[in-house]
Amino acid sequence: MTGLGAFEGQKYLNLETFRKNGKGVRTPVWFAAAPRGPLYVYSTADSGKAKRIRNSGVCKIAPCDGRGKVSGAWIDARAEFVTGDEAARGMGLINRKYWPVKLLFDLFIYLSKHHERVVIAIYPG
């Protein structure tokens, strides 16, 4: 299966972002798909993947399991931070998909020093 259809029914995607030296770093992440729109992921603002996306939005994605074992083809993509209504839409989709586990995860994040989160839209192609 190619394209976004490969992500239907999946809980994780493997997000490969790139360091300034060009070396890829792969991270399994939760995601949610918007109807006729991008895929959304979120992260703490100070995470490595957020820093790499700030440097360059070029990325690759593939469906995977929770440990990052890829189960489909890699797709070239572009990632960018979203704010406002679009960020709220993305978080809403993620919250619904992963409820109630995400609620517990949010509590942990709130109690830690990593309060600021960013929402990332991923556009395949």
What CATH number is given to the structural domain containing 106? Answer: 2.30.110.10
CB atoms within 10 A of CB 60: 19
The tally of domains found in the chain comes to: 1
Q: Look at residue 125 in the predicted model and tell me its pLDDT.
A: 84
| 77-105 pLDDT, tens digit each | 999 999 999 999 999 999 999 987 766 66
Predicted local confidence at residue 1, as pLDDT: 39
Nearest Cα to Cα of residue 43 among 34, 56, 53, 35: 53
Enumerate the β-bridge partners of residue 58.
78
Two tokens at 28? 């399994």
Distance CA 13, CA 27 (A): 8
Q: Give the pLDDT of residue 2.
A: 45
Q: Where are the beta strands (DSSP E) in the chain?
A: 12-18, 24-30, 32-33, 39-44, 58-64, 75-82, 117-124
Cis peptide bond N-terminal to 100, omega within 30: yes
Burial of 114: CB neighbours in 10 Å, binned 0-12, 13-18, 19+: middle
| 83: amino acid identity, one letter | T
pLDDT class of 59 with cuts at 50, 70, 90: very high
pLDDT, tens digit, 9 for 90 and up, residues 11-37: 999 999 999 999 999 999 999 999 888
Give the domain extent around 41. 3-124
Predicted pLDDT of residue 32: 96
